[in-house]
Amino acid sequence: MQEAYYVAKSIRKTKTVSTESTKKRVFHNSDDCPIRNVVAQIGDKWSVLILFALVEGADRFNSLKSRVVGISQRMLTQTLRDLEREGYVNRTVYPEVPVKVEYELTSMGRDIVKPLYQLVSWAETHHGEIKRSRKAYDERN
Amino acid sequence: MQEAYYVAKSIRKTKTVSTESTKKRVFHNSDDCPIRNVVAQIGDKWSVLILFALVEGADRFNSLKSRVVGISQRMLTQTLRDLEREGYVNRTVYPEVPVKVEYELTSMGRDIVKPLYQLVSWAETHHGEIKRSRKAYDERN
DNA sequence: CAGTATCCTGTTAGATACTG
DNA sequence: CAGTATCTAACAGGATACTG
């Protein structure tokens, strides 16, 4: 396992005596921790679905709205703005009448989709196992 | 890109006429969509950090509490329960006095950490780029 | 030690109405 | 068409006090 700056060696300055002093601490500092700062961002309710929709190519606002089933206009706007701000999505306005706005993945957007696919692929494979685990847990609790 | 059941071909039954009828729809159905159902679960504030802390081996409640910096007792309990329910974590009570409770990754827990590392590794690599993108966005808006 | 139980606040996201 | 603006309900999560 690689050692990252948000995972620092435990500086045993606390008074608690432990038999295991080799374990690392895991920080969540919002500014400097990629986990909270990057993963948590795309871990919201709609980001991944929008990114996956855009993998198939540039698309317009209302087309996305109908393809990302269940999303509200408000959340589509807001999540697209967030994704644009992060650098995953480009927004292009075509000054026609009526106006046309296209969203497409940046190179970084196409890039982050790869590890996301790994994760989603894992999730698909283990989805049944997870559902069984939940069911078993709920039955014994 | 693989075609999953949460990504279905667009059934063009809406009245809107589109020049691109080949794009897929992306569902978010909570019960059947692994994205919402698995990814969103571990996308909360503490799950990934706890999983990463447990990669180093089984650990006890209060040790975890000090290692996962900033987490409250309430959220540690709650997130551990969720992770246990999903099947990522095993909880073992040792009936000593005082009681000792150990948490450790299940085989599935050790397994999901792999794609998570891929994602976090990506995040580390691109963290600077993302921060610059945010700054640029904020300056022009 | 390893939690529960309460209370409380900020955020998230849906619904609805309106606009250049 | 592609959004804003506003209101509100639900939820996530922190602080604190208490317990087997």
Q: Which of B122, B129, B134, B137 is most worth mutating to test chain A (most A CB atoms within 10 A of its CB)?
A: B122
List all residues of chain A from 65 to 94 with a beta carbon under 8 Å from chain B: 66-71, 84-87
Q: How far is CA B133 from CA A41, B55, B136, in A?
A: 14, 32, 5
Quickly give B74 CA vs D17 C1' distance in Å.
13
What ranges in chain A are assigned the alpha helix state H?
A: 34, 40-42, 47-55, 61-67, 73-86, 107-140
What does pTM read for this prediction? 0.87
Would you give per-residue pLDDT tens digits along chain B (141 residues)?
A: 333 334 332 322 223 334 445 788 887 666 778 888 888 889 999 999 999 999 999 999 999 999 999 999 999 999 999 999 999 999 999 999 899 999 999 999 999 999 999 999 999 999 999 999 999 999 988
Please confirm whether the linkage preceding A34 is cis (ω < 30° from 0).
Answer: no
Measuring CA to CA, which residue among B18, B17, B71 is closest to residue B49?
A: B71
In this predicted model, what pLDDT tens digit does every residue of A17-54 receive, in sequence order? 444 457 989 877 777 788 888 888 898 999 999 999 99
pLDDT of residue B9: 27
Q: Which of A12, A35, A139 is most worth mutating to test chain B (most B CB atoms within 10 A of its CB)?
A: A35
